[in-house]
Amino acid sequence: MKSDKLRVVVAEDSPTARRLLVEILRSDPSFDVVGEARDGLEALELTRRLRPDLVTMDIQMPNMDGLEATKRIMTEVPTPVVVVSTLVERDIQTSMAALRSGALAVLQKLVGPQAPDFETEARRLRDTVKAMAAVKVIRHWPSRDEGPKPRHPTTQAPRGRPGLLAIAASTGGPAALHRILSELPATFPLPILVVQHIALGFAKGLATWLDSVCPLEVKVAEDGEALRPGVVYIAPDERHLGVRADRRVEVSNAAPVGGFRPSGTWLFRSATRVFGSSTAAAVLTGMGQDGLDGLREVHEAGGWVMAQDEATSVIYGMPAVAVAAGVVDEVLPLGDFSRRFQELAGQEARGA
């Protein structure tokens, strides 16, 4: 009889840290630690052989580090990966690289039961592993030109150019944003507002990382600043992002919408109330249905609504509910968003 327990492989080169992580997981009867790896090569081999529900992955390990092991797992035997590392807090670039490699979440390594917040952090780790183990991950192809190409959608009749681009994403979003924004030229003529659900304290790091790898300027949004063409505004930690009536950036401490702050719905509603039919909105990979009510307002106002397709989404949650609700004009594979954004903005896409 198949066990109902979540089968986990733990990859950690330190025996002490590995033992602690195994004990934290085994303290919950819903987990079964089926394998322990001392390096990335062992993690890859155990994942191939045992086919676990999830792998917890350290980053700094001998023979093969956690980033390379995550990439190999996602190309060879797609399995949810949660990175647990001391580098998460010290090196935001490494954390973003882990997400780009295919990890679904990054968590700070626990120091031990002597820490004052140990039980809270241990519970958070178990909760994250449970949530991520339920994610249906997709295969990551070794290069962007490999793998199946989804069909191009049928687009609406031509309309006027939008004045603003609003994007919402959750799990899998950082890597998706990197792909899209890195393919847009520095001359892109629209301001871009982004709500990305991410762990507390990571918004600034996400903006810094994207800014370092994309032609566009990427920054954490500040309340009241001007909306500038070719600038990407990331919602700050625990704050809504929107547009004020005077077409400046709005950062708000208002109550969460549907449990989220920042909220995609808040962003889309705010943009639509100011830009109306000149709003272009996109919903990317993510769990749940944040953004749906806001996308409905964009759609009813005559703006553009785009959603990432199932084949290229890490989690086809947020895009799926928008498509099912009939508020989406175009369903696009991840690789087509930058081209489409440039077309809407009146630019000739690079490589077109």
What are the CA-CA distances from residue 336 to residues 180, 191, 207, 286, 323 (Å)?
Answer: 8, 19, 22, 18, 17
- The helix or strand, by DSSP H or E, that contains position 261, with its residue range, turns out to be none
Beta strand ranges found along 160-289 (DSSP E):
164-169, 192-196, 217-220, 231-234, 240-243, 249-252, 279-283
Q: Which two tokens stand for residue 200?
A: 């507390």
The architecture (CATH level 2) of 164-344 comes to 3-Layer(aba) Sandwich (3.40)
Q: Which of 290, 293, 309, 336 is catalytic?
A: 290
- Asked if 250 and 235 count as a contact pair (C-beta separation under 8 A), the reply is no
The question of whether 290 is a catalytic residue gets the answer yes
Q: What is the pLDDT of residue 244?
A: 97
pLDDT of residue 48: 96
Superfamily covering domain 6-133: Response regulator (3.40.50.2300)
- Range list for CATH 3.40.50.2300 in the chain: 6-133
Angle between helices 66-76 and 40-50 (to 10 degrees): 20
> Which pLDDT belongs to residue 350?
59
Candidates 101, 140, 178, 197; catalytic one: 197
The predicted pLDDT at position 181 comes to 94
Phi, psi at residue 40, to the nearest 5°? Answer: -65, -35
Distance between CA atoms of 152 and 26, rounded to whole angstroms?
Answer: 46
* Sheet-wide strand order for 330-332: 217-220, 231-234, 192-196, 164-169, 279-283, 304-308, 330-332
Successive 10-residue mean pLDDT values, the chain, 352 residues? 80 94 94 96 96 94 93 89 78 76 83 84 87 68 42 47 95 88 94 90 82 91 97 96 97 94 97 96 92 96 95 88 95 95 85 50
Q: Is 197 a catalytic residue?
A: yes
Give the separation between CA 70 and CA 186, rounded to whole angstroms: 31
Of residues 211, 145, 154, 148, the one with CA closest to residue 178: 211
The candidate with the shortest Cα–Cα distance to 156, out of 54, 304, 299, is: 304
Closest alpha carbon to 295 in 316, 320, 272 = 272
Q: Where do you find CATH 3.40.50.180 in the chain?
A: 164-344
Q: What are the residues whose beta carbons fall under 8 Å from the beta carbon of 236, sequence distance 6 or more?
A: 203, 204, 220, 221, 251, 262
Amino acid at 167: I
- Encoded tokens for 345: 């903005």
Residue 218 φ/ψ, nearest 5 degrees: -125, 130
Residue with tokens 């590995």: 18
Determine which one of 170, 263, 313, 338 is catalytic: 170
In this prediction, residue 145 carries a pLDDT of 40
Residue 140 bears catalytic tag: no
